[in-house]
Amino acid sequence: MTETLRPRFQFTIAATDGKARTGTIAMRRGDIRTPAFMPVGTAATVKAMKPETVRATGADIILGNTYHLMLRPGAERVARLGGLHRFMNWQRPILTDSGGYQVMSLSDLRKLTEEGVEFRSHLDGSKHMLTPERSMEIQRLLGSDIVMAFDECPRADQPREVIEASMEMSMRWAQRSRDAFDAGGDHAAGAALFGIQQGALDEELRRRSADALTAIGFDGYAIGGLAVGEGQEAMFAALDFAPEQLPADRPRYLMGVGKPDDLVGAVERGVDMFDCVLPSRSGRNGQAFTWNGPINLRNARFAEDTGPLDDRCTCATCGTYTRAYLHHLVKSGEILGAMLMTEHNIAFYQQLMQAMRNAIAEGRFAAFAASFRATYGAGRKEPV
């Protein structure tokens, strides 16, 4: 009996409620339920978590970082060791970002040209050149399932002419990324490529970007250039128009977002995929996300609190450990504190995504969002 080959990339929308959508992305390495939150595994690890624990929280896909992995341990080395999935023991889908954002944000020593970006490593000062073609090559060597086009991400407070020129160059880079990806042989036959919309907060520039990307043709479309300091109100204002400028039959991915209330507001506006370092970074720093808002376990009021982090959460941390113990671990700088707090935060994010998927499927997303904001917002008034 011949085994049925799973699709390379197939997005199915199962239900909509207002602009919110729920569905499935089917890929060779497994299904991704949408709306989806992708934990960030920057250097081939979701910090303070084992891959099997990440999966146990409900994550269907994780994100790897092209910039960091190309510098250490090196994409060629990862390829020699069997690819990123084998290297880190994660057999489900992996999305890799293109590296462009990190080059812009981490390196002061860089030179941007039409060809690409020349920069010095933040690790040892060595010189590197990252182009659309090299970014596609690195992501191919890593064995990425969802490859991101190479782009530039300017700050939203730049003059309009700077943002426009940057967007137009990113669209030229998008075509070069498409061409280089398609030349990738077996990898291209089994992976997907996403384009990235740019244009900051400008509706007309984002429309032009969306049109250019749609003309090239991608498996999915990311909304880039948001969550870079403009604030939630401005981000939501852009999301009031940006997702609908992109093809409705393809996944829409909001890069680098965000806080739990950001996710709810973005799903409300038609976004399907997210990634953010916040749940893991906050966990390492003693902050837990709960249905009643974030709490800081460093606070003395938790020193003798025998309750769980969140009595609605079903994660192993909440089912086993008290706030008092976690307070002790965090205050003592114990590694276990970072592990347990991160596990809870990642699990909370996955439970939030599942709750949104259920609400959309049952046609009650508006009520869910209103209830969430009321409860989460009330909790945020407490000191953290």
Residue-wise pLDDT tens digits, 97-130: 998 888 777 657 788 999 999 988 888 989 999 9
Nearest Cα to Cα of residue 174 among 144, 150, 198, 191? 150
Is the pLDDT at 4 greater than 80? The verdict is: no
For CA atoms 208, 206, 172, 174, give the dihedral sign.
negative
- Annotated catalytic residue: which of 97, 151, 262, 272? 97
Mean pLDDT of 33-40: 98
Q: How crowded is the C-beta side of 195, counted as CA atoms within 13 Å?
A: 27
pLDDT of residue 109: 73
Count the neighbouring beta carbons within 10 Å of the beta carbon of residue 374: 10
Q: Which two tokens stand for residue 48?
A: 């303070």
- pLDDT, position 107: 57
Task: Report whether pLDDT(320) > 70.
Answer: yes
pLDDT for res 154: 86
Question: 97 an active-site residue?
Answer: yes
Residue 218 sits at φ, ψ, to 5 deg, of: -135, 160
pLDDT at 1: 41
- Calpha distance 27→41 (Å, rounded): 20
Contact criterion met (CB below 8 Å) for 269 and 324: no
Cβ contacts of residue 300 below 8 Å, gap of 6+? none
**Residue of 214 and 109 predicted with greater confidence:** 214
First to last CA, the chain: 58
pLDDT digits (tens, 9 = 90+) for 138-172: 999 999 999 999 999 888 889 999 999 999 999 99
145, 151, 262, 275: the active-site residue: 275
Residues paired with 195 in a beta bridge? 221
- Write out the two tokens for 152: 């530039």
The tens digit of pLDDT for each residue in 342-364 reads 999 999 999 999 999 999 999 99
Q: Considering only CA atoms, which of 154, 157, 66 is closest in space to residue 105?
A: 154
Task: Give the rounded percent of residues in the chain with a pLDDT score beyond 70.
Answer: 97
pLDDT at 106: 65
In tens, the pLDDT along 42-65 reads 999 999 999 999 999 999 999 999
Q: Is 305 designated active site?
A: no
**DSSP per-residue string spanning 145-165:** SEEEPP-----TTS-HHHHHH
Residue 310's pLDDT is 98
Secondary structure tally for the chain: helices H, strands E: 17, 16
- Tell me if 241 sits within 8 A of 203, measured CB to CB: yes
- Residue 215's nearest CA partner among 195, 185, 230, 236 is 195
